[in-house]
Amino acid sequence: MDNGQKLMTDGPIRSQILRFAFPLFLGNLFQQMYNTVDSLIVGNYLGSNALAAVSSSSNLLFFVVGFFTGVSMGGSVLIARYLGAKENDQVVCAVHTCAALGLICGGLMTLLGVLFAPAVLRLMNTPPDVLPESIVYFRIYFCGSVGFVLYNLLVGILQAAGDSRHPLHYLVISSVLNVVLDLLFVTRMHLGVGGAALATCIAQFVSMLLALRRLHRLGWPLHLSFRKIRLDKKMVQGILKIGLPSGLQNSIISFSNVLIQTYINSFGPAAVAGIGSYQKIEGFAFLPVTSFAMALPAFISQNLGAQKKDRARTGARFGVACATIIAAIIGLFFCLFGPQLISLFDRSPDVIAFGTGRARVVGPFFALVAYTHMMAATFRGTGHATASMMIMLLTWCVVRILVLAISSLFIHDIAVTYWIYPFTWTLSSAVFTIFYRREKILQ
pLDDT in tens, 140-171: 988 888 998 899 889 989 988 888 889 889 98
Residue 131 has pLDDT above 80, yes or no: yes
pLDDT-derived band at 3 (thresholds 50, 70, 90) equals: low
What span, in angstroms and rounded, lies between the C-alpha atoms of 272 and 412? Answer: 16
What span, in angstroms and rounded, lies between the C-alpha atoms of 380 and 193? Answer: 37
How many other CB atoms are there within 10 angstroms of residue 186's CB atom? 25
Residue 58 has pLDDT above 70, yes or no: no
Q: Is residue 14 domain-resident?
A: no
Q: From 5, 8, 4, 3, select the one nearest 302 (Cα to Cα).
A: 8
Q: Is residue 9 domain-resident?
A: no
Specify the 3-state DSSP secondary structure of 431.
helix
Q: Is residue 99 domain-resident?
A: yes
pLDDT tens string 236-245: 998 888 888 8
Q: From 286, 210, 205, select the one nearest 36 (Cα to Cα).
A: 286
Cα angle value 74/78/80 (rounded, 5°): 120
Give the domain range for residue 222: 21-438
Q: Is residue 1 domain-resident?
A: no
Q: Is residue 10 domain-resident?
A: no
Specify the 3-state DSSP secondary structure of 308.
coil
Q: From 8, 23, 76, 64, select the one nearest 290 (Cα to Cα).
A: 23
pLDDT-derived band at 385 (thresholds 50, 70, 90) equals: confident
Residue 172 has pLDDT above 60, yes or no: yes
pLDDT at 424: 95
Tell me 440's DSSP state.
T
220: region left, alpha or beta (phi > 0 left; psi from -120 to 50 alpha): beta
Q: From 106, 92, 93, 83, select the one nearest 237 (Cα to Cα).
A: 93
Q: Is residue 250 domain-resident?
A: yes
Bigger pLDDT: 320 vs 67? 320
Q: Is residue 229 domain-resident?
A: yes
pLDDT at 421: 93
pLDDT at 5: 64
What span, in angstroms and rounded, lies between the C-alpha atoms of 77 and 83? Answer: 10
Distance of CA 375 to the CA centre of its chain: 16
Q: Is residue 269 domain-resident?
A: yes
Give the dihedral sign, CA 250/252/258/264: negative
What span, in angstroms and rounded, lies between the C-alpha atoms of 66 and 78? Answer: 19
pLDDT tens string 86-116: 899 999 999 999 999 989 988 988 898 888 8
How many other CB atoms are there within 10 angstroms of residue 95's CB atom? 27
Count of domains for the chain:
1
Percentage of the chain lying above the pLDDT 70 cut: 96
Bigger pLDDT: 215 vs 408? 215
pLDDT tens string 284-331: 788 889 889 988 988 998 898 888 999 999 999 999 999 999 999 999
pLDDT at 160: 86
Give me the mean pLDDT over the 402-426 stretch: 90
Question: CA of 287: how far to CAs of 16, 26, 146, 277, in Å?
Answer: 19, 8, 24, 16
Specify the 3-state DSSP secondary structure of 277.
helix
pLDDT at 57: 65
Q: From 238, 79, 96, select the one nearest 160 (Cα to Cα).
A: 79
pLDDT at 324: 95
pLDDT at 59: 62
Long-range contacts of residues 40-46, Cβ cutoff 8 Å, at least 24 apart: 40/344, 40/345, 41/182, 41/183, 41/186, 41/187, 41/196, 42/186, 42/193, 42/196, 43/273, 43/277, 43/345, 43/346, 44/345, 45/186, 45/187, 46/186, 46/192, 46/193
pTM for the full predicted model? 0.77
Residue 51 has pLDDT above 90, yes or no: no
Cα angle value 358/37/34 (rounded, 5°): 100
Q: What rounded mean pLDDT belongs to the chain? A: 86
pLDDT tens string 370-384: 999 999 999 988 988
What span, in angstroms and rounded, lies between the C-alpha atoms of 324 and 41? Answer: 32
Residue 362 has pLDDT above 90, yes or no: yes
pLDDT at 38: 67
Q: From 92, 59, 71, select the one nearest 400 (Cα to Cα).
A: 59
- Output the DSSP codes for 152-221: HHHHHHHHHTT--HHHHHHHHHHHHHHHHHHIIIIIIS--HHHHHHHHHHHHHHHHHHHHHHHHHHS-TT
8 A C-beta contact, residue 81 and residue 297: no
